[in-house]
Structure 1
């Protein structure tokens, strides 16, 4: 069932983004009276799953879910329709339109991608607001279990004050992304500020270990379920461990340290059950475990128990606009920085480039509209930025040639555009093979 939920979200998000991107080309083409032969979700190599011709355009769904396309008459694209291009230009063809109209048609797809992302972020601000823990309210610092973070100089209990000179005012979903691309991070440890210079190959180091969050808020030891065969039937689901062997165990990381020291021992645990603290004997096994599955608490529950002060901002309709726009701008800048890292060989971040499997694995195995829209907005930005890369066969490549034509007044020859398109297709196939090859390699080696 989990795989069905993940696949449903993946296909729904991908389909939405492809259809809207292609509509971004389709609508201005129609406005400028340019004939569109095909409008397809997914690629119809050899055959289509569904198709129907309405007017001059064939609408359909292909079987290969690697994207989608609109086939605009008189345009050199991936179809490489040389027979059509050999005929005399017609007024309704793309090549017959003024350069500024062709530019608008080519920019339509990425424009829709960016606008869609901003609309989603505005809608999320209005529907969900913002819930977070302010840095100033983080009494006991963050949990740092990632070995690469530890090697860089971070420790559990550190409070992150600033990233690349920008104060970190809140602990939220953006924090780890900011750390990932940071050059330096200012922390507070035992009341003293310290600056940590991030390794240039930080991303590459992360790729060599099991996936562990960079930094998170510290969580209590919550019993989710008692494992079958466990000796600790004294524990019950929803118990919250407060102390072990008379030592405070407010957080899970503290509990692990105490259990590690008491392997194969019978100790006393102070647990919170039904809002009352009780003492129960527990047997620690040879691995320093209690034989239970861990549970989790949401921010509201953590606030009720006194772990954190949770801040929440709710926004009215008009207030949501600047919040959503700022969120979209931050994500756009952040993704730009990620691309810069990928193209910098020193960072070795290119090793983390992923294909469709990587995108699929972003989606959770349980349905959440908030998570779905958040991922879709991010993917929309990624799709827009990637399509703007100046590679022939991508929108960005066409845009470069059109800008050259507008500035110089000289139109590149159709032969040159055909050759450039072929080079672009080879580059795209190479990138596709590299990205999805990375997915396969990670699946094989387990990283």
Structure 2
């Protein structure tokens, strides 16, 4: 059932983005009197699941869910309709329209993507507001959960001060900027230290994760809340789910990282401990095996409600009126756009090694949660809309950005590239685009098979 929910969210989001993107081309084309021959969700290679002609346009759904398209008369695109292009230009064709009209038609898709993303972020701000942990409230610093972060100089207990000179306000909101940063300032033992982030930190992080270094890079320092014990654990009948370990071998244990470090020193021993169970402290004896494990699982992260219940961190809430949600949503969209631009820069810089983490359709599929959440759905859809808009603006002839590049050249120079040149450029762009698609999805397959 989980896979069905993930797949449903994935296909709904993808379909929405594709249809609206192509609609962004369709509307200006029709406004300028350009004939649109086809409007398809997904690709109809050899056959279509559904199609119906209304007026001059055939609307349909293809069987190959790798995108969608509109076929505009008199335009050299992925259809490579050389027969039509060999005929004299007609007034209703794309090639007969002024350059400025063709430019508007071509940028219509990405324009809709960006507008959609910003509208979604405004809606999210209005409908859900904000829940966050203020960085100022984190008195005992961060919990470093990945060795790659330790290797560059971070330590558990550090307090984040700023990232590339920008003060850190929201703890969880600092994760992505940190990955893309050049320098991070932390407070350690009452003094500040600057940590230079290596250019290939993303690559180091991926290697660490492959070696079992942890999925996240840092977390809030939280208590050691027991989730359960394995059947063969000597502590199976001693602890219960949701027990909170507060003392071990006579030492107070405030945070999980302290417990993890302590058990390393207690290998092969049975020691007294205190757990908090239903708001009461219970004395127990816990056994640590020769490998330094207690045979219990714990919660590496707690939800906002649990953090509040335990009284460890104060959760800040912001609600926005409709008017207040507009600038808030616009700012969120801008931040996402800038962040994604930085990610692309890192991907195209071989020194970072970030290209190794590029993913295709499986990576997008994995973004969606296993339980239905409208908030998560809209947040992911907004992000994907920005990604789709930016990627389509890349100056590759098979993409909108390639057509825009040639149109701008025509408008500046006054010379239109020949149809033969455009055909060759389209073919070259198509093969380049296919290579990128194969690379991204090949990464997915490689990780699935070998990691």
Question: What TM-score range do you get, normalising by the shorter chain?
Answer: over 0.9
> Secondary structure of the equivalent of 1:139?
coil
Give me the whole-angstrom Cα distance separating, in 1, the residues matched to 2:272 and 2:336. 48
Aligned pairs for 1:116-127 (under 5 A) are 116-127=116-127
- Provide the residue aligned with 1:434 in structure 2: 439
Q: Which moved more, 1:56-65 or 1:202-211?
A: 202-211
Question: d(CA) in 1 for partners of 2:48 and 2:166?
Answer: 51
2:342 aligned partner: 337
**1:108: Cα distance to partner?**
0.7
Residue 286 of structure 1: aligned partner: 290
- What residue in structure 2 maps to residue 223 of structure 1? 226
Q: Does 1:214 align with 2:217?
A: yes
SS in 2 for 1:289: coil
Unaligned runs of 5+ residues in structure 1 are none
Deviation at 1:218, TM superposition (A): 1.8
Q: Please report how far the alpha carbon of residue 228 of structure 1 lies from its aligned counterpart in structure 2 after TM superposition.
A: 2.9
Partner residue of 1:102?
Answer: 102
Give the superposition deviation at 1:377. 1.0
Equivalent residue for 1:149? 149
Task: Give the whole-Å Cα distance in 1 for the aligned partners of 2:208 and 2:64.
Answer: 33
303-312 or 189-198, which moves further after superposition? Answer: 303-312
Cα distance in structure 1, aligned partners of 2:270 and 2:247: 14
Which residue does 2:367 correspond to in 1? 362
Residue in 2 aligned with 1:205? 204
Q: CA–CA distance in 1 between the matches of 2:92 and 2:85?
A: 13
List aligned pairs for 1:239-254, cutoff 5 A.
239-254=243-258
1:421 paired to 2:426: yes
TM-fit CA distance, 1:12:
1.5
Q: How far, CA to CA, are the matches of 1:143 and 1:371 in structure 2?
A: 26
How far residue 221 of structure 1 moved from its aligned partner, in angstroms, is 1.5
The alpha-carbon deviation at position 280 of structure 1 amounts to: 2.0
User: Which residue, 312, 322, 325 being the options, matches 1:307?
Assistant: 312
**Are 1:90 and 2:90 matched, yes or no?**
yes
What is the correspondence of 1:390-405 to structure 2 with a 5 Å cutoff? 390-405=395-410
Residue-by-residue CA offset, 1:120-152 (whole Å, 9 max, x unaligned): 111111111111111111011111121111100
How many angstroms apart in 2 are the aligned matches of 1:408 and 1:431?
31
Deviates more, 1:120-129 or 1:302-311: 302-311
After TM superposition, what 4+ stretches of structure 1 lie above 6 angstroms from structure 2? none
In the alignment, the residues of structure 2 paired with residue 438 and residue 266 of structure 1 have an alpha-carbon distance, to the nearest angstrom, of 46
Q: Report the Cα offset of residue 394 of structure 1.
A: 0.4
Cα deviation, 1:150-180, whole Å, max 9, x if unaligned, reads 10000111111111111111212x3221111
Say yes or no: does 1:319 pair with 2:324: yes
What is aligned with 1:347?
352
Deviation of the 1:304 alpha carbon: 2.9
Instruction: Tell me the equivalent position of 2:191.
Output: 192
Task: Show structure 2 runs of 5+ residues with no match.
Answer: none
Superposition deviation, residue 309 in structure 1:
1.6
Partners of 1:320 and 1:374 lie apart in 2 by 15
| 1:231 shift after superposition | 3.0
How does the TM-score come out when normalised to structure 2? 0.95
Q: Return 357-366 or 24-33, whichever deviates more.
A: 357-366
Tell me, what secondary structure is at the counterpart of 1:288?
coil
| Aligned-partner Cα distance in 1 for 2:104–2:312 | 53
Q: CA deviation at 1:290?
A: 2.9
CA offsets 1:398-446 (integer angstroms, 9 cap, x no match): 0111111222222211111111111100110111111112222222330
Give distance in 2, aligned partners of 1:31 and 1:219: 58
**Higher mean C-alpha displacement, 260-269 vs 401-410:** 260-269
What are the Cα deviations for residues 311-342 of structure 1, in whole angstroms up to 9, with x where unaligned? Answer: 11111111011111001101101111111111
How many aligned positions are there?
445
